[in-house]
Structure 1
Amino acid sequence: MEQQRDDTANPIGPLLLLAFPALLVGVGSSLVLLAVSYLADGLERLLWTVLPASLGVAGTAAGWILPMLTVVGVVVGLVVWLVPGHAGPDPATLGLVEKPMPVRVLPGMLVTVVLGLAGGVSLGPENPTIATNISLAYLIGTWLMPASAARTWIGLATAGTIGALFGTPVAAALVLSETPMGGTAGSEPLWNRLFAPLVAAGAGSFTTVLLSNPVLSISLPAYQGYALGDVVSAFVITAVGAGIGLSAVYAFSPVHALFHRIGNPLLMLTAGGLVLGALGAVGGYLTLFKGLNEIKELAASSAEYGVGALLVLVVVKLAALVVAAASGFRGGRIFPALFVGVALGFLAHALVPSVSPVLTVACGVLGILLAITRQGWLSLFMAATTVVDIGVLPILCVAVLPAWLLVTGRPEMIIERRGG
């Protein structure tokens, strides 16, 4: 009997067809991210080191932090108000992965994220960079391959950017496994669906590591092994972290509504910058910026912080994240939330020194990120890689379960768009 040919049984051709475009998207996504980071780092040195030194003041002083963040709010507000495209939609209405945006909004969006990163705003580069890479990949990809689906380029650009952000394609695979991309996957095997995105993620991570060598981890004493009390501690710290993160989520909508009563983007972002400056003056220089370099500074000097000082870091940084995201600044929430989780972990260790700081920090990161991102796999990944100790992973896999029950079904940190 003649066997009917089934084209879906041999997907090698379609997979290989996307491999080269995926490689290009991954490298391009990394280069966009590196360009944003390079410009932001250079401007940051100018604003926080060169300029205050020329004026005879310390860039870490409250007297510099307050006016600097206010000025950043004014400049970002001018861009959002006057530049064509207005730097894209209200960022409070956008998730980590969105549909392609019109190219005309991208220049303003990139300018605002560079200004925010350099100016000390408590947001990361991930959301605007992913949005930019998705839009560019979709524009170029559908021009070169008109029959290709939008979700193809969304997946490739998302994977490439996340791989570049975290320096590993694993993070991209975990995020994509929880991200609906549209279309009908049917019974297509998972690894077939992830093949091209993993090529993009690998290319993005390799390019970033080659050119920048990012390090997301902090140095902590090695975890000494399991104890029954560790499981109980992990449950409590992760659940407390999730609860603290949820407090920010519930505050987000009313804070957003309060700022948006102002109406004019210039006035709204100026007010946001003023509030961020006041928070930074209270919490200190360590509570500014996206938080990636700051977690390393905190880890290196954590013994110098008492319970009260660590509590201030947690509260101020979480409040700064809410205000920055609600008042119209462009940026992502993963890295500031990571700082909050690390500070919470050191706070838990200061309260109960008998519990390993590796465990307290990992659980603090896990709980906070679960509440802020609702990405279970990404939260586990970030918690384990931040402390660089695989020994705590089994405990984290258990501690995540009750914390997930706490956050699932709750409101998310996003404002529903009106009028489509």
Structure 2
Amino acid sequence: MKLAVPERDPNATPRRLLLLAIPAIAVGILAALVLWSVDAIAGALDGLLWTTWPDALGVDPSGWWIVLVLTTTGLAVGLALTFVPGHGGPDSATTELTPPPMKLSALPGLALVTILALAGGVSLGPENPVIAINATLIAAILARLLPQVPGQLAMLLATSATIGALFDTPVAAALIFTGVVAAVKAGGSLWDRLFLPLVSAGAGAMTMHLLGAAVFAFDVPPYDSPQAIDLLTGSAVAIGAALVGLAALAAFPWVYRAFHAMRHPIIVTTVGGLVLGLLGLIGGPITMFKGLEQMGELLQNADDYDGAQLAAIAGIKTVALLVAASALFRGGRVFPATFIGVALGMLGHVLIPGLPLGLAVACGVLGLTLVVTRDGWVAIFLGVAIGGDITLLPVLCVVVLPVWLMVTGAPEFRIQPPAPAPADPSATHAPPGPPEATSAR
């Protein structure tokens, strides 16, 4: 049988792709610099809040200080959302990974509340707000300097560049946008359409690497000898992690409604910060922050945790993620979800000692992130990236199948924003119920 070769996109000539590669590289570098700047400022403030000031005051940063800092962080975020122009951008609980561009005036406020949340220990990652900042900023720059670059392409380059910078590799962006590009009905070669996003993603990843950013890789024992039984035990861990994710998904609208019943942003974020502080006091610093460094700490000291401790860490982090996402804090859900997946994978290894640690962790990450991202490629990528072992790939490609059947009919892991009021003032409305997690299906 002869396979059909897709027709070439007439706009994707080698000369045009080469010319556009130059701004694509610039976009990648700029996106990485924005991410690095946000991380650097948040890291400096983190050092003040959790090291310098506690040392100067002679207090234990793992005790009541956690409650104080997170409550104060909530108050500061609430004040910023109320009084800073742009009000911190859209609620992260209602946005996708690739939101539409905002007004430029909203970017400083969004950056401020993101930095406060990252430094204060809120259980959210930087991905959603930094992608929003980069997409808005780059779309505006290209519209002014290179108006011939379509706005949709500018958004695509900015998003892929930020994803490449976040994970220190362009592979994640390629996998994410493979699904996006495949959904386009305009025809043409897939790789012609992926060429420029990959250029931006590669430039972003290399820039972060050259700036010395933390590498998205961890010290996990290699998975040397795949066994048939690993398909069964690995699937059990992935399914268990997915069930935890689905339970969190079911609770998300109710937690969101409970916090938003308080109405005023300052009250919502302050109470949210207090709750996060109490959770941090119970679970310790390892259950706080976006989760990247904490994943490394958890895996490095894997032998120090028993099943009950790992279950508690995963449970507390899950609650912290729901609270942080519901209480108007700006941030993404992928990084904390990956941490939860690591903890659940380690728990699976404790419960099934014959299951290698690397595979158990990869399956836990796959199951949890598949619920949160609803993207099988990204879930597989994160599982392999955490385990750092390409040998995991064939097993994960099988394990993902039953988990996908579980999650494919569930709604997305975000809150559907309220619909605008109808123009007809005489229109009647049913009483509002709890907000629902949205579904694109």
For 2:383, the equivalent position in structure 1 comes to 383
Does the CA contact (< 8 Å) of 2:181 and 2:193 recur in 1?
no
For 2:146, the equivalent position in structure 1 comes to 145
Aligned-partner Cα distance in 1 for 2:417–2:182:
19
Does the CA contact (< 8 Å) of 2:233 and 2:352 recur in 1?
no
104-113 vs 185-194, greater mean Cα deviation? 185-194
Aligned-partner Cα distance in 1 for 2:350–2:418:
45
Q: What does residue range 261-272 of structure 1 map to in structure 2 within 5 Å?
A: 261-272=261-272
Q: What does residue range 51-90 of structure 1 map to in structure 2 within 5 Å?
A: 51-61=53-63, 63-90=64-91
Deviation of 1:213 after TM superposition, in Å, equals: 4.1
- Please list the CA deviations of residues 226-251 of structure 1 after superposition, one character each: whole Å capped at 9, or x if unmatched: 22211100111111111111111111
Aligned-partner Cα distance in 2 for 1:227–1:236:
15
Aligned-partner Cα distance in 2 for 1:10–1:363:
39
Q: What does residue range 189-200 of structure 1 map to in structure 2 within 5 Å?
A: 189-200=189-200
The runs of at least 4 consecutive aligned structure 1 residues that moved more than 4 Å come to none
- Please list the CA deviations of residues 260-292 of structure 1 after superposition, one character each: whole Å capped at 9, or x if unmatched: 111110000001101111111111110000000
- Please list the CA deviations of residues 371-403 of structure 1 after superposition, one character each: whole Å capped at 9, or x if unmatched: 111121111001001011111211100000000
1:50 maps to a residue whose letter is T
346-355 vs 157-166, greater mean Cα deviation? 346-355
Aligned-partner Cα distance in 2 for 1:300–1:110:
32
Aligned-partner Cα distance in 1 for 2:148–2:263:
42
Does the CA contact (< 8 Å) of 1:173 and 1:194 recur in 2?
yes
Give the TM-score normalised by structure 1.
0.95
Does the CA contact (< 8 Å) of 1:93 and 1:416 recur in 2?
yes
State whether structure 2 residue 402 is matched by structure 1 residue 402: yes
Q: Aligned pair in 2 of structure 1 residues 386, 327: CA closer, same or farther (>3 Å)?
A: same
142-151 vs 274-283, greater mean Cα deviation? 142-151
Does the CA contact (< 8 Å) of 1:163 and 1:205 recur in 2?
yes
Aligned-partner Cα distance in 2 for 1:174–1:180:
10
Aligned-partner Cα distance in 2 for 1:222–1:14:
43
For 1:371, the equivalent position in structure 2 comes to 371
Aligned-partner Cα distance in 1 for 2:12–2:39:
41
State whether structure 2 residue 336 is matched by structure 1 residue 336: yes
For 2:359, the equivalent position in structure 1 comes to 359
State whether structure 2 residue 238 is matched by structure 1 residue 238: yes
Does the CA contact (< 8 Å) of 1:155 and 1:181 recur in 2?
no
Aligned-partner Cα distance in 2 for 1:21–1:200:
9
- Please list the CA deviations of residues 24-58 of structure 1 after superposition, one character each: whole Å capped at 9, or x if unmatched: 11000000000000001110010001111111111
Does the CA contact (< 8 Å) of 1:344 and 1:361 recur in 2?
yes
Deviation of 1:150 after TM superposition, in Å, equals: 1.6
283-292 vs 142-151, greater mean Cα deviation? 142-151
For 1:177, the equivalent position in structure 2 comes to 178
For 1:3, the equivalent position in structure 2 comes to none
Deviation of 1:155 after TM superposition, in Å, equals: 0.5
For 2:273, the equivalent position in structure 1 comes to 273
Unaligned 5+ runs, structure 1: 1-5
Does the CA contact (< 8 Å) of 1:122 and 1:291 recur in 2?
yes
Deviation of 1:181 after TM superposition, in Å, equals: 10
408-417 vs 139-148, greater mean Cα deviation? 139-148
Kindly report the root-mean-square deviation, in angstroms, between the aligned alpha carbons of the 2 structures. Answer: 1.6
Q: Give the match's secondary structure for 1:111.
A: helix
- Please list the CA deviations of residues 74-122 of structure 1 after superposition, one character each: whole Å capped at 9, or x if unmatched: 0011000110110112221101001111111110000011010000000
Q: Aligned pair in 2 of structure 1 residues 408, 64: CA closer, same or farther (>3 Å)?
A: same
- Please list the CA deviations of residues 296-343 of structure 1 after superposition, one character each: whole Å capped at 9, or x if unmatched: 111111211111111100000011111101111001111111110111
Q: What does residue range 279-290 of structure 1 map to in structure 2 within 5 Å?
A: 279-290=279-290
Deviation of 1:180 after TM superposition, in Å, equals: 6.6
Q: Aligned pair in 2 of structure 1 residues 145, 181: CA closer, same or farther (>3 Å)?
A: farther
Aligned-partner Cα distance in 2 for 1:37–1:148:
29
For 2:216, the equivalent position in structure 1 comes to 216
For 1:117, the equivalent position in structure 2 comes to 118
Of 50, 75, 78, which residue of structure 1 is paired with 2:52? 50
Q: What does residue range 286-365 of structure 1 map to in structure 2 within 5 Å?
A: 286-365=286-365
Unaligned 5+ runs, structure 2: 1-7, 421-441
Of 22, 26, 42, which residue of structure 2 is paired with 1:24? 26
2:414 maps to a residue whose letter is I
Give the TM-score normalised by structure 2.
0.91
Report the count of equivalent residues.
Answer: 413
Aligned-partner Cα distance in 2 for 1:170–1:119:
31
Deviation of 1:138 after TM superposition, in Å, equals: 0.7
Does the CA contact (< 8 Å) of 2:182 and 2:190 recur in 1?
no
Does the CA contact (< 8 Å) of 2:36 and 2:213 recur in 1?
no
Q: Aligned pair in 2 of structure 1 residues 45, 16: CA closer, same or farther (>3 Å)?
A: same
Aligned-partner Cα distance in 2 for 1:27–1:283:
37
Q: Give the match's secondary structure for 2:301.
A: helix
Q: Give the match's secondary structure for 2:125.
A: coil
1:59 maps to a residue whose letter is P
212-221 vs 293-302, greater mean Cα deviation? 212-221
2:300 maps to a residue whose letter is A
Structure 1 or 2: more helix by fraction: 1
Deviation of 1:224 after TM superposition, in Å, equals: 3.0
140-149 vs 236-245, greater mean Cα deviation? 140-149
Q: Aligned pair in 2 of structure 1 residues 213, 83: CA closer, same or farther (>3 Å)?
A: closer
Aligned-partner Cα distance in 1 for 2:82–2:213:
36
Does the CA contact (< 8 Å) of 1:154 and 1:181 recur in 2?
no
1:365 maps to a residue whose letter is V
1:169 maps to a residue whose letter is P
2:41 maps to a residue whose letter is L
For 1:162, the equivalent position in structure 2 comes to 163
For 2:393, the equivalent position in structure 1 comes to 393
1:358 maps to a residue whose letter is G
Q: Aligned pair in 2 of structure 1 residues 255, 172: CA closer, same or farther (>3 Å)?
A: same
For 1:8, the equivalent position in structure 2 comes to 10
140-149 vs 123-132, greater mean Cα deviation? 140-149
